[in-house]
Amino acid sequence: MDIYHTIIRPLVTEKGSHQASSGDEQHGGAYSFEVHPEANKTQIRQAVERIYNVRVTDVRTSNRPGKVRRYRFRFGRTRKTKKAVVVLAAGQHIDLF
């Protein structure tokens, strides 16, 4: 899988911006990305390191199921996504915000 297809988009939320700025001298900040559903942790680590030119220390992933929504007179589902939280090495950051 290509590195540009592995990372779909960064997730810019209030919680994510707090996690990114809360890095101390031992740990770097944590950044959230929406990733391809079939990507594993190794592929996500390599993609972030190559695209943003940083060193990754930890990758946490979670599958987010789609929510049930009403559409006119029927019920539908939003799409399911995969979220990855990437922790960088100390002293490194990504300029997303």
φ/ψ of 21, rounded to 5, equals -90, -5
Positions in the chain whose pLDDT score sits under 70: 23-27, 97
For residue 52, the model assigns a pLDDT of 94
Boundaries of domain holding 20: 3-88
**CB distance 43 to 6 below 8 Å:** yes
**CB distance 76 to 17 below 8 Å:** no
Cα gap 90→29, rounded to integer Å: 8
> How do residues 16-42 score in pLDDT, each as one tens digit?
888 888 766 666 789 999 999 999 999
Asked whether residue 95 is domain-assigned, the answer is no
Asked whether residue 46 is domain-assigned, the answer is yes
**CATH code where residue 10 lies:** 3.30.70.330
Say how many domains are in the chain. Answer: 1
For residue 39, the model assigns a pLDDT of 95
Nearest 5°: the CA angle 40, 47, 12 is: 90
Asked whether residue 14 is domain-assigned, the answer is yes
